[in-house]
Amino acid sequence: MKAVVYDQPRSFTVKEVAEPHAGPGEVRLRIVLAGVCGTDGHLHQGEFDPVYPLTPGHEIVGEVDEVGEGVTEVRAGQRVCLDNMQACGMCTSCRRARPQYCASAVMQGVNVPGGFAQYIVAPAGKCHPVDDLAPEVAVLAEPTACVMHGLDLLELRPGSDVLVFGAGPTGLVLAQLLRYVGASRVTVAAPTAFKLEVAKRHGADEIVQIDRADPGASIQRLRELAPEGFDVVVDATGTVAVLSRCVELTRDGGTVFVYGMTEEAAELTVSPYEIFRRELVLKGSFSQAYSFDRAIAALRGGRVRTEGIVTHRFGLDDYGAALAALADSACIKAVMQP
Ligand SMILES: [Zn+2]
Ligand SMILES: [Zn+2]
């Protein structure tokens, strides 16, 4: 089968590799769509602990095409979303129901082969049937599961005024679900006008375009919207330039929510006095845990609208172009169609 294969950072080829087969308890999926994510950009640079040779791709929709011995959960021909995280279940983090800290977790598309290939093998119990969802909706299950996990951690107080920086796929999904968990107002701030329009169509109350050349003016506009600060300021961009403005926009007693993944080496300067005096909360969210089926339920129930989010589609041979699309302001979500 054909697959994208990295042998070291920034070095990949699209080549023939051995087709995998389903063992006991496993199924083989024919990949229908695999989403390209900011994490894949970090993996390209060698960040996020990749194990080589690596086939990336962790946002996977596939069709069950081979069923291993003893599998009863799914059947051949079924369309499924794959939960790519397999925690060990035995370490202290797993025993405390915190699989996202599991040091020996198997993460398909990160430390074992993922979905930028024609086939993948996975435990049947990690496959969530989605025959009723269009593939371009289902491909957002994994990022939505991460958002759902973020909301579990955020514990938003009903009535909160929330600012979300970033109108990429996760920013757009977060902005929608924040309303359903009780935000009184959701403001989305981002540099690209058409992405903000998508946010608005999907229910954002306010949109503010960030002028990259003059961010100060945009910050002033946000200050006018919330003179005492927002209860919660979410960074869904993963850039320090944005994170460094979050504290000043947060209300006393409020929360700065670090949702985007920055470069590993990035550092943020925060005044500890301000955290102390203003009782600020600095909170992070990584990956997903026990949230995959709820994410699919939210997509199924229309609580997460996906129209306009997938903007770019590529074949495996064009993986280089798909990576380039991550940095293209015309792209919200790119997907691979192997
Ligand atoms: Zn992702
Ligand atoms: Zn573990």
Per-10-residue mean pLDDT, the chain, length 338: 98 97 98 96 95 98 98 96 97 96 96 98 98 98 98 98 97 97 98 97 97 88 97 96 95 97 93 97 96 98 97 98 96 97
Ligand lying closest to the C-alpha of residue 89: 2
Angle subtended by helix axes 193-201 and 169-180, to nearest 10: 30
For residue 66, report the distance from its CA to the centre of ligand 2, in Å.
28
What is the residue-wise DSSP string for 176-209?
A: HHHHHTT-SEEEEEES-HHHHHHHHHTT-SEEEE
Domain 2-140+309-336: give its CATH architecture.
Answer: Alpha-Beta Complex (3.90)
The CA–CA distances, whole Å, from 302 to 79, 187, 207, 239 equal 19, 21, 22, 30
For residue 38, report the distance from its CA to the centre of ligand 1, in Å.
7
Q: Which two tokens stand for residue 176?
A: 């929608």
User: How far, in Å, CA of 241 to CA of 260, rounded?
Assistant: 12
Task: Say how many C-beta atoms besides its own lie within 10 A of residue 158's C-beta.
Answer: 8
Q: Which two tokens stand for residue 65?
A: 């095409």
Token pair 């005044």 in the structure block, residue:
271
For residue 95, report the distance from its CA to the centre of ligand 2, in Å.
7
| 242 DSSP assignment | H
Q: What is the pLDDT at residue 65?
A: 96
For residue 144, report the distance from its CA to the centre of ligand 1, in Å.
9
Q: What is the pLDDT at residue 275?
A: 97
Q: Map out the domains of the chain as residue ranges.
A: 2-140+309-336, 146-284
Per CATH, is 146-284 categorized as 3.30.1360.230? no
